[in-house]
Structures are given as structure tokens and as C-alpha cells.
Amino acid sequence: MSGGHGKRGEPRVTIGRRDFFKVYAAAGVAVLQGCRRRDQELIESPVRRSTALPGASVWRRSICEQCGAGCEIEVRTVDRLAKKIEGLPSGFVNRGGVCALGHSALQELYHPDRVTEPMRRGSSGELEPVSWEEALETAATAIAAAPDATTIVAGAPSGPLLGLWRRFAATVGTPPPVHWQPADAVVEREAARLAFGESTRPAYDLARSDYVVSVGAPCLDRWRSPVHLGAAWAELTADRRGKLVQVEARHSLTAANADDWLPVRPGSEGFLARGLAGLLLGSGAVGEEGRAAYEALYPGAPPDLAATAERCGIDAGRIERLAAELARARRPLVMAGGSALEGENGVAAGAAALALNLLLDSVGREGGVFAGVDFGFEDRLAGDAAAALPPAALAERLAGDGGSGVLVVSEADPLHGMPGLEAAFEHADTVIACSAFFDDTALRADVVLPVQTDLERFQAVEPDPVRGVPALLVASPTVAPRGEARHPGDVALALAAAAGSALPWPGFQEAVESALSDAFAATRAAGDEASDPAALPASLIAGALNARQFVRRTTDAGGLVGTEEMRRAPVPDARADVPVGIVDPASLPAPAAPAGVESFTLIPFESLKLADGRGANRPWLQELPDPLSTVMWGSWAEVGTEDADRLGVRTGDIVRLTGTAAEIELPAIVLPTVRPGSVGVPVGGGHADYGRYARGRGVNVNSLLDPDRRVAGAGAFARSGVRVRIERLRRPRRSERPVIYGRGLRQAEEIPVGWAPHDGGKA
């Protein structure tokens, strides 16, 4: 019998089946009451009042800073904890999308092995927790003692934070900071300067093109802005309207999705671009203006088809077809990036590829190439401080100082990302790492300053230009910072203050607001004639009465977003001095021929899960199968079927890759898509620590690279085109076997396995 209250509160007595069961249950209940104990559960009353209802989802806008793309995100928070990241549908860059790396920022935030308090190397040689004051003082004393011998490495993407570090360097008196950025970004700028006369990373309008040739640019992998480019690709190829052709030695995810993949010999991308130019010039499909502009850059005769096919190692027919389709296309577009720019001839190759846009008249038009303009907030914060140095400058500086001095590394892990720096770090007097984790650099540091991750901090980001439209994105912190972590910008300001040369702002947010405020004033002063370079487009300040209101409105609106009218072609006036630096890739010698059957060209690549290594500490990403090799949890070497047969290697076998200075052992994955004579290895593995999920996982392929190889004409380290030897070592032990998700794929090639979906019509 259950007595109770009905819907309206009046007592209600019913006898149901369940009550009947209870009658004979009664005996058992008596017995069991003694045995069962109810575990007490607790419910917490929060300390502070909140506007949100308990357990209710609050969505907060934020910016993803996992890479420089600047995707706007919404973070779902419940009871002040971040639960989920989603793309902001109105996001300037991403339009609602997020990539795998972006999602995993949550696991960076709540990583169990994060550094949440300042650490200093004690007398025992171990890192010990200290107070912020002590840590800052130790760091500042070291910097102030030898500002000239101090090297700053800033990992922040270009934008206000990098500007702050530049200002820091100028104020404290150190050399300009080294900007830790993808190598191909530096090369791309230089190639763009040569081809278009303006040293900005070109912005591509894929979506409105109808024929895109990507020379090495892995635009659907981890390159620049994967979410934006992915969406643009979808638009390009929707209803088979446009086509993407990938010219790349490795079968990347982009190559896998491209309508056509030209697996050229590594290092011959520039030659192909010249060869294509030859075919285009000969086809008569090229306008006079384009021909003139192109021939001004490359007065020499382009190589003929046979030579191109020979050098690139691909079928002449395919090159011919590509040229014909390019000539036929209404809005063709050529992009350059990735491994094509990371070889020693990267600048020449990049310039040759980008110059095709001149020939095809795709510069500054719909579906073409635009200048990568921005609102200049990096410079606004930097003041008149010198420009940041390219990554390779770090190696030069460290070599020049004989390895002593002070190193300040903020949000970067050069020790993992660049070979040959170990000795210099070993000899440095003081290494100061601003990091959220014990990455390889922080592990060697004398002072570790914990920094906030994306969702904990005030953000001001100038995104990678999208279709050439500039923007500045601003967001407030989403969740409370963990432990004592501070904003890296605030750390820089505190360091400067402790070193006795304080910057004019108390914090990073104030710095950005003051820059906004100055920009308002300059724009107001310039009036309609936007002659002052410090002025913003006038439309952006329209409606704001004063600087304070403008700043307030900008931060509330999440930043400043430009319009399509602000796009422009690269400024051609500066081209006068260009041809001086330009090199015809066709005039460069071919890369050395392979020496022996074991000699392979190494192609290191950024997988979309580990990126440059920063993804390695997140279980979601470690356990994410690589889309092509389907490997999880570790590194692997991609070997072609033919080569594997020759070497006697089967999938899973442990192979040794020997470079000039080092060797690594890792499992081989045999794929039918690898160009014979080349071997692909993802970067991002082999961390000495970096938290429990990354520690000792995989191998660091960067150690195979030659530390002295440079991309000619750019301060970038050349990681493509290194030659390695491959030897098969053994069948893997159980614990060494690569973790392959699509375990059946190997068998699928051997037996007729039915994966074919059958047309059953719609549900």
C-alpha cells in the first residue's frame, strides 16, 4: 500500500501490483535492512552567488589559441567548470567549426600534470615551488644582469602578445624576441615578398575559386587555419563545381581529399611551377599583363615539359593536363606552403608557385590571392621596437654567444622543435620558461613560470587573414585560472617591472585597451583621409563618441572585424627591389640522387592530432587515430608498398631511421600511397615529459634533422629533404606494436573484404 499525495496534493491510497509484490517482500526487507547501508552523498553549496541557475549551462565566447588561426568558440560552462568547446556559428574564421586540436584545449586546461605554481631550481638541482615574487626576482635579476646576452623566444602567434614581447625586449634592452612560428610561415612571407612585393602571408580565397593548385600547402591538414580552409574547400568542391589539385611529395590528408594528387619528387615543387608556367605561356591562354608581370620576375626560359616530368618524377601527361585545366579555369588559384617551402630551395619554390598567380591574373580578385593585411596591433603594442626574429635566429644566437646567457622562453618548446639546441641550453646561465607544462624546455629551465591556457585568460588575437579581411578578436576569461597561473602577457610585464624597466601598462588587458584607445585617437585625427598608418578604417570607429566608449564597445563585441572592402592586392610598388632576390628554381641543381637502396628522403609532417607536438599531452588526441595511417598513441614511419617489399618490412616492424647526427627507432606502417624513396614521419612525439600522456610516447623526428640546414634566403630551418637510411630491425615485441585502429585494413588488401555499402535507398 502506498500512501502519498497526488498531483494536486490530496492524499491518495492505491493498491497496485507493486504493493502486492511488497507483501511477500516484507519478510526479506526485515532481513536486509540490517545489511544495507546507504552511502551518503554530498551536495555542495557554492561560496559565491551566481546569476546562473545551479547545473545550468552557460555558454561563454572565447577564442581558440591552440594555433594562430583565431577560431571563435563558445565554451559551455556548468557551475563554473568548462565542459565543452563548440565553434561560434558567427565566428569570423571558423563559422561554427572547431578542429580536433581545438576541442582538446579542455584537456590542456584540466590536465592533471599542469604546472600551477612557480618553480625554481633549488640547491639540490631539482625544481621546487616558490612564490611568484621569488621566481620573478630570480628571473629578472638574471635578465637585468645581462640584457644583451638574453634571448627571448615568444611562442605566441603574431598579434598583440608578440608586440608586447617586442616592447619588452626594447624596454629591457635585450635583442628582439625570436618569434617561434611554423618554418613555412617565414618562407611564405619571403616568397610573397619576392612574387608580389609585399612581405605578408598571402590570403587565399578558395571558396570562390574554381580551380586550386596547392603546391605543398596541406590546407586540409594542420596548416594556417584548417577549419576555415576546410569549409572553403567544401564550398569550392560543392556540386563538383571546383577542383583541388595537390602537388606534394607526401600523401597528406589534403592530397587524400584532392581531386588530383601529383606526388612530385621532394624538392622539385618549384621546378614544376616553372614547368607549368612554360606550358601556360605556350598555351596562349595567358593575358598580356600577366605575361609581362611574370616575365619581369623570371626572364629566363622555363623548362620544357620533358625536363619537368623528369625532374619531378611524374608522368608528363599529368602535368600537361594540369596546365590545360589551369588555363581553362575561370578563377584559378595557386597556393604554396608546407613541405614545398621547407626544403633548402623553399623560397625559390614558393616564389615560383605564387608567381603563377600573376600569370593567371589571380592577384587581388575574387577567388584569388590577397595581401594578408591586419590592423597592426602587434606594432601598436610594440611601439617602435624592432621586428621579431625568425625561428632559425635562435640557433644562430645561441651559437654566437658560445652558449652562455639567459634564455626566456614563453609558450614554446624549442628544445623539442629544433635539433641541436641541447648543448646551448645546457650551457645557458639561466633558462626561464613561461609554460603550463613541463615540456622539454621547461624541464631544463631554472625558473618555470606557470601561464594560463586559452580559456583562463584575457585574449586578444589577430587571426591569420581570412580571404584577406583583417580582424582583431578579443575575449574575456571563461573560467577561473588554475592555481597561480598568470597570463603570459602579465608575466612579461611583471618581469620587466622586476628587472627595473617597467612598461607603461599594469597588465596585458590594459595594454590592449590602451592600444585600442590610441588607435581610436589616431583614426579620429586622420579623419576621412586614411593617410596615417596608425589609423584604422574609419568605418570601424563610427558611432563611438570617445575612446573609452570605443574600447568598451570593441571588447563587448568581441573585437574588430573588417569588411570585404578592406581586402586588397599586395602592394606592387615595393616590387622594384624584388627581382634581386629571386631565384629561378629551374636553375638550381637537382637534389642529390639517392645513395643506395636504403637511402630515403625524410618528410616530417604535422599530423592533425599532435600538431607540432603541443597536442601530445591530451588523451583525446593521443587516442585519435591518424586519419590515413589510423595509428594512435605514438609515432610511426610511413613506407611505400614497393619500398617495404624491397626492405622486407611489414606493417608494424620496427625500423631504424639514421640521419647525419642521430637515429630513431619506430614502427613502420606500409601504405600504398607513399612515394617510392620517401618516408614520412609525424612530428610531435618523443617528449621527455610534457605530462603523463605524452611522456616518452613516440619518438622525436626532429632529432634526425640537420641543425645547420637553412632555407636559402629566409631565416628558417629546412626540415624537408633530409636523407635518412632505413633498416629493418625486428618484428615488434608486444609492447612495441603500433596501435593501429583500422586493424583490418592490411587484410583488406589481401582478401576480398566487403566494405561496399549497398544502395538501399534512403531510410
* Three-state DSSP class for residue 603: strand
Handedness of CA 413, 416, 417, 423 (dihedral sign): positive
CB of 437 to other proteins, least distance (A): 14
Nearer to other proteins, 96 or 147 (CB): 96
1 touches other proteins (CB under 8 A): no
Tell whether residue 124 is a contact of other proteins (CB under 8 A).
no
In angstroms, give the least distance from the CB of 128 to other proteins: 23
2 vs 539, beta carbon nearer other proteins: 2
Taking CB under 8 A as the criterion, which residues in 236-275 touch other proteins? Answer: 237-238, 240, 251, 253, 256-257, 261, 263
**How far apart are CB 432 and other proteins at their closest, in Å?**
26
Residue placing its CB nearer to other proteins in the complex, 120 or 251: 251
14-53: contacts with other proteins (CB under 8 A): 16-18, 21-22, 24-29, 31-33, 36, 38-50, 53
686 touches other proteins (CB under 8 A):
no
| CB closer to other proteins out of 53 and 545 | 53
Q: In angstroms, what CA-CA distances link 282 with 285, 288, 301, 334?
A: 8, 12, 11, 18
Given the complex with other proteins, which of 38 and 330 has the nearer CB atom? 38
Residue 44 amino acid letter: E
CA–CA gap between residue 557 and residue 300 (Å, rounded): 52
136: contact with other proteins by CB under 8 A: no
Tell me which residues in 650-679 interact with other proteins (CB under 8 A): 671-676
Residue 548 interacts with other proteins (CB under 8 A): yes or no: no
Q: Are the CB atoms for 479 and 456 separated by under 8 Å?
A: yes
Report the site for other proteins in 216-235 (rule: CB under 8 A): 220, 226-228, 230-231, 233-234
Contact range with other proteins by CB under 8 A, out of 91-99, 164-172, 285-293, 359-367? 91-99
H-helix or E-strand containing 504?
A: none
Q: Which three cell numbers stand for residue 178?
A: 625570436
Of positions 533, 589, 596, 757, contacts other proteins by CB under 8 A: 757
606 contacts 683 by C-beta, under 8 angstroms: yes
Size of interface with other proteins, in residues (CB under 8 A): 130
Torsion of CA 389, 391, 397, 400, to 10 degrees: -130
H/E element holding 670?
Answer: strand 663-671
Strand order of the β-sheet with 406-410 is 127-129, 119-121, 447-449, 430-434, 406-410, 150-154, 178-179
Return the residues of window 484-503 that contact other proteins according to CB under 8 A.
none
Q: What 3-state class would DSSP assign to 531?
A: coil
Q: Assess 741 for contact with other proteins (CB under 8 A).
A: yes
The one among 1, 15, 83, 122 contacting other proteins by CB under 8 A: 83
* Contact between 172 and other proteins per CB under 8 A: no
How does 31-67 read in b/e, with b if 16+ C-beta sit within 10 Å? eeeeeeeeeeeeeeeeeeeeeeeeeeebebbbbbbbb
> Which residues in the 351-410 window bind other proteins by CB under 8 A?
none
Out of 63, 64, 67, 82, the only residue in the binding site for other proteins (CB under 8 A) is: 82
As a whole number of angstroms, the distance between CA 277 and CA 360 comes to 9
Residue 13 sits in the site that holds other proteins (CB under 8 A): no
Residue in this structure with the C-alpha cell 581586402, named with its chain if needed: 567
538 belongs to the binding site for other proteins (CB under 8 A): no
Q: Which of 605, 636, 613, 628 is nearest to 732 (CA)?
A: 636
Pick the closer one to other proteins by CB: 231 or 443: 231
List 58, 60, 61, 86, residue binding other proteins (CB under 8 A): 86
Q: Which of 61, 110, 147, 688 binds other proteins (CB under 8 A)?
A: 110
* Chain residues 612-631 in contact with other proteins, contact rule CB under 8 A: 619-625, 627-628, 630
C-alpha cell at 597: 637502396
Scanning residues 580 to 619, which ones bind other proteins (CB under 8 A)?
608-609, 619
Q: For residue 733, state whether it binds other proteins (rule: CB under 8 A).
A: no
Residue with Cβ nearer other proteins (264 or 448): 264
Of 55 and 125, which CB lies nearer to other proteins in the complex structure? 55
Stretch that binds other proteins, among 9-17, 185-193, 347-355, 524-532 (CB under 8 A): 9-17
Binder of other proteins out of 296, 632, 662, 688 (CB under 8 A): 632
DSSP H or E segment with residue 622: helix 619-622
Q: Is 299 in the site for other proteins (CB under 8 A)?
A: no
Residue type, 94: N
Q: Please give the residues from 443 up to 482 whose contact with other proteins meets the rule CB under 8 A.
A: 482
11 binds other proteins, rule: CB under 8 A: no
Sheet containing 459-461, strands listed edge to edge, beginning at the edge strand earlier in sequence: 459-461, 471-475, 559-561
- 311 lies in the binding site for other proteins (CB under 8 A): no
Question: How, if at all, do strands 119-121 and 447-449 pair?
Answer: antiparallel
Say if strands 203-204 and 369-370 run parallel, antiparallel, or are unpaired: antiparallel
Residue 495 to residues 172, 436, 489, 491, Cα–Cα distance (Å): 9, 17, 10, 6
Identify which of residues 38 and 577 has a Cβ nearer to other proteins in the complex.
38
d(CA 628, CA 619): 19
Residue 102 makes contact with other proteins by CB under 8 A: yes
Check: CB of residue 271 under 8 Å from CB of residue 278: no
Alpha-carbon gap, residue 288 to 299, rounded angstroms: 15
**Residue 132 touching other proteins (CB under 8 A):** no
Taking the complex as a whole, the smallest distance from the CB of residue 53 to other proteins amounts, in Å, to 4
> Given phi > 0 = left and psi -120 to 50 = alpha, else beta, which region is 381?
alpha
By CB under 8 A, tell whether 85 contacts other proteins. Answer: yes
Q: Give the DSSP letter of residue 215.
A: E
- The span from the CA of 468 to the CA of 202, in Å, is 8
Least Å from the CB of residue 624 to other proteins: 6
Three-state DSSP state, 106: helix
Only one residue has cell 587581388, namely: 364
94-102, 139-147, 149-157, 702-710 -> range binding other proteins (CB under 8 A)? 94-102
Q: What DSSP assignment string belongs to 409-434?
A: EES--HHHHSTT-HHHHHH-SEEEEE
Q: Which stretch binds other proteins (CB under 8 A): 11-19, 357-365, 375-383, 496-504?
A: 11-19
- For 334, which DSSP code? E
Q: If binding is defined by CB under 8 A, does position 436 make contact with other proteins?
A: no
To the nearest whole angstrom, how small is the minimum distance from the Cβ of residue 85 to other proteins?
7
Segment near other proteins (CB under 8 A); pick from 4-12, 145-153, 165-173, 597-605: 4-12
Matching residue, cell 601504405:
671
Q: Please state the closest distance from residue 309 (CB atom) to other proteins, in A.
A: 13
